[in-house]
Amino acid sequence: MFRRIEARIVNPLLGAEVPLPSYATEGAAAMDLRACIEAPITLQPGGRVLVKSGLAINMMDPGLVAIVASRSGLSLKHGVRVAQGIGVIDADYHGEIGVILANDGEAPYVIEPGERIAQLMFQPVVQVGLQYVERFSIETERGEGGFGSTGRN
């Protein structure tokens, strides 16, 4: 169904109670990252915290990027999300993955050891060479229209 690529992980970083990330179903696009912490962390409303995952990866394919994304249920039910929208883990980064969580909710949220805190997804990367030009050689119907220009009138 999906193309499979191998990546290495550094196992000793994981706590004994924290299972390795895995795909929950055959059709899942992302794996759950868990909090690799010794004690609960309370995330106050409006607050941010860096939560260690206990996972370091070495992607064997330099044409990949790992993306850290919010878990929908955590965001909907508690207002807890990945703070910067998404986290980008470059192929040449081999350190531990940390997840910056933000609490947009109205109540404190307690992050428990081993709790699923984010999703980890792998995507192909294309690097683009930028070139300065005086003007664009191709005009489009949309042009410079943005911020709702193609939406409702």
pTM of the model as a whole: 0.82
The structural domains of the chain, with segments of one domain joined by +, span 6-124
- The residue assigned the tokens 């910067």 is 84
Element (H, E) at 25: none
- CA dihedral angle for residue 143, residue 146, residue 151, residue 153, rounded to 10 degrees: -90
- The residue assigned the tokens 């191998």 is 6
pLDDT in tens, 54-86: 888 887 788 889 999 999 999 999 999 999 999
Give, as one character, the DSSP assignment of residue 20: P
What token pair was written down for 55? 């996972």
pLDDT in tens, 93-125: 988 899 999 999 999 999 999 999 999 999 999
Determine whether the annotation assigns residue 135 to a binding site: no
pLDDT in tens, 4-47: 666 666 555 666 667 788 888 889 999 999 999 989 999 999 99
Determine whether the annotation assigns residue 47 to a binding site: no
Determine whether the annotation assigns residue 61 to a binding site: no
6-124 CATH pick, 1.10.3720.10, 3.90.1150.200, 2.70.40.10, 1.20.58.1880: 2.70.40.10
Determine whether the annotation assigns residue 84 to a binding site: yes
Distance (Å) of CA 49 to CA 77, 112, 118: 18, 13, 13
Determine whether the annotation assigns residue 117 to a binding site: no
